[in-house]
Amino acid sequence: MKILPYLPDRSGLAYSVGTTLDRFIKLKQSDFPFASGELSQLLRDIALAAKIVNRETNRAGLSNIGGAFGQVNVQGEEQQKLDVIANIRFMRALSKGGEVCAIVSEEEDSVIDLQNSSGKYVVAIDPLDGSSNIDVNISIGTIFSIYRRITPAGSPIQQEDIMQKGSEQVAAGYVLYGSSTMLVYTTGCGVNGFTYEQSLGEFFLSHPDIRAPKSGEIYSVNEGSQLDWEAGIKNYITLCKERRYSARYIGSLVADFHRNLLKGGIYLYPATKKNPSGKLRLLYEANALALIAEQAGAMATDGSRRILDIKPTSLHQRTPLLIGSSEMVQEAEAILKGEDVKSLI
Ligand code: AHG
Ligand code: MN
Ligand code: MN
């Protein structure tokens, strides 16, 4: 009689496509800078809130949670009902876990002190990104950054705990509520993507060790603002057109970023005359995606500075953002600095 050993995974890796998010987090725990298990739990809390927001998103057309909430947020933008719902869901998940001491959210004017001074982590979050797309059934997202507090656990939260550079993030990620729902995150050791299986209620590893193409043929920018751009951006976009690149712009940063990360491309939200610092927020939009970009071999800049090197000075600070395939971002940056376009072709 021949007895064969069961070999479930012939890749030799401890994890492979199909590994559940929970198992993956556990297996990768020793990669974390502080392998205490708290960051693992925090990631699980975020995944749970993402599942709930995913459920609400899928029901949006039926359950009267589409449309405006009737208030504007601190950015002066009209809050959608789902913005408010997503904010509540993430706040609850992050406050119950006990790992987090403070939260910065797009939907909250001030830092939220969770009155849990023993929590070691600070989270910055855009609970619902791309909210203008909710009512028209187009992909939306969540973006999160996780920092370790600087002041000792047990003491009151200080400004320095919140105003950290993006390079200090210990983890960052996004959830994309699209044709599938995906959670993509990094703890500084590469980027992994998980797809949600609705009927099982689980995220499964579907995109291990994501590597962004060095270059691509997609540019993503709101061309309606072209008349307000500075010459460098106009020149770069003209170059994209001369090369017959494809224009793709969803208007949900997470969705545009995700596509370009996988296919190769560049996303630009530049400074305009109306918005000299651009539109996107450093703490809970640009920083998280910049860390993921770099971890996948891509790049993120504000046109002259690495996004992750910018020291924040205010909570809802905006920044121009050029993010995506490294060669494309480098080229756009060179053109913005006035270098000769022709010599770059
Ligand atoms: P939010 O819905 O969180 O306010 O973010 C919207 C952002 C971003 O997702 C998107 O890329 C950008 O705004 C679109 O802005 P424009 O409509 O000006 O192009
Ligand atoms: Mn957003
Ligand atoms: Mn938002």
Confidence band for 220, pLDDT divided at 50, 70 and 90:
very high
Ligand 2 geometric centre to CA of 246 (Å): 23
| Domains of the chain with bracketed CATH | 21-207 (3.30.540.10), 218-344 (3.40.190.80)
Ligand with an atom nearest the CA of residue 285: 2
Mean pLDDT of the chain, nearest integer: 92
Instruction: Supply the pTM of this predicted model.
Output: 0.94
Average pLDDT estimate for 306-322? 98
User: Probe ligand 1: pick from 81, 128, 129, max atoms within 8 Å of CB?
Assistant: 129
Ligand 1 geometric centre to CA of 195 (Å): 24
Among the listed residues 100, 95, 143, 90, the one whose alpha carbon sits nearest the alpha carbon of residue 120:
100
Residues facing 267 on adjacent strands: 220, 323
Ligand with an atom nearest the CA of residue 288: 2
Ligand with an atom nearest the CA of residue 284: 2
* Angstrom distance (rounded) from CA 271 to CA 285: 16
Higher pLDDT, 254 or 63: 254
What's the confidence (pLDDT) of residue 97?
85
Confidence band for 9, pLDDT divided at 50, 70 and 90:
low
- Greatest mean pLDDT among 8-22, 52-66, 311-325, 331-345 lies in 311-325
What's the confidence (pLDDT) of residue 135?
86
Residue 33 has pLDDT above 90, yes or no: no
Average pLDDT estimate for 169-173? 97
Ligand 3 geometric centre to CA of 145 (Å): 14
Residues 6+ apart with CB under 8 A from 62: none
Which residue, judged by its Cα, is nearest atom 17 of ligand 1?
A: 251
- Greatest mean pLDDT among 6-20, 27-41, 262-276 lies in 262-276
Which residue, judged by its Cα, is nearest atom 2 of ligand 1?
A: 130
What's the confidence (pLDDT) of residue 34?
64
Higher pLDDT, 334 or 29: 334
Average pLDDT estimate for 105-112? 96
Ligand 1 geometric centre to CA of 254 (Å): 9
Average pLDDT estimate for 192-205? 96
Place of tokens 């992050």: 94
Among the listed residues 130, 159, 41, the one whose alpha carbon sits nearest the alpha carbon of residue 94:
41
Residue 202 has pLDDT above 90, yes or no: yes
pLDDT tens digits, 63-94: 676 777 778 887 777 777 889 999 999 999 99
SS (H, E, C) the chain: CCCCCCCCCCCCCCCCCCCEHHHHHHHHHHHCCCCCCHHHHHHHHHHHHHHHHHHHHHHCCCCCCCCEEEEECCCCCEEEHHHHHHHHHHHHHHHHHCCEEEEEECCCCCCEECCCCCCCEEEEEEEEECHHHHHHCCCEEEEEEEEECCCCCCCCCCHHHHCCCHHHEEEEEEEEECCCEEEEEECCCCEEEEEEECCCCEEEEEECCCCCCCCCCEEECCHHHHHHCCHHHHHHHHHHHHCCCEECCCCCHHHHHHHHHHHCCEEEECCCCCCCCCCCEHHHHHHHHHHHHHHCCCEEECCCCEHHHCCCCCCCCECCEEEECHHHHHHHHHHHCCCCCHHHC
Ligand 3 geometric centre to CA of 183 (Å): 17
What's the confidence (pLDDT) of residue 81?
87
Ligand 1 geometric centre to CA of 9 (Å): 41
Share of the chain above pLDDT 70, in %: 94
Ligand with an atom nearest the CA of residue 269: 1
Ligand 2 geometric centre to CA of 129 (Å): 4
Residue 116 has pLDDT above 60, yes or no: yes
Least confident among 6-20, 38-52, 138-152, 214-228:
6-20
Average pLDDT estimate for 132-139? 91
**Phi/psi of residue 83, nearest 5 degrees:** -60, -45
Ligand with an atom nearest the CA of residue 128: 3
Which residue, judged by its Cα, is nearest atom 12 of ligand 1?
A: 251
Average pLDDT estimate for 11-17? 71
What's the confidence (pLDDT) of residue 74?
78
Which residue, judged by its Cα, is nearest atom 3 of ligand 1?
A: 129
Exposure string of 327-339, with b = 16+ CB inside 10 Å and e = fewer, is bbbbbbbbbbeee
Average pLDDT estimate for 285-292? 98
Average pLDDT estimate for 330-344? 82
Among the listed residues 265, 266, 267, 273, the one whose alpha carbon sits nearest the alpha carbon of residue 231:
273
- Nearest atom in ligand 1 to the alpha carbon of residue 143 is 3
What's the confidence (pLDDT) of residue 75?
75
Least confident among 74-88, 93-107, 117-131, 239-253:
74-88
Pocket of ligand 1 (CB under 6 A): 77, 106, 126, 129-131, 222, 251-253, 279
User: Probe ligand 1: pick from 74, 80, 253, max atoms within 8 Å of CB?
Assistant: 253
Length of the chain (residues)? 345
Residue 23 has pLDDT above 80, yes or no: yes
Confidence band for 117, pLDDT divided at 50, 70 and 90:
confident
Ligand 2 geometric centre to CA of 340 (Å): 34
What's the confidence (pLDDT) of residue 240?
98
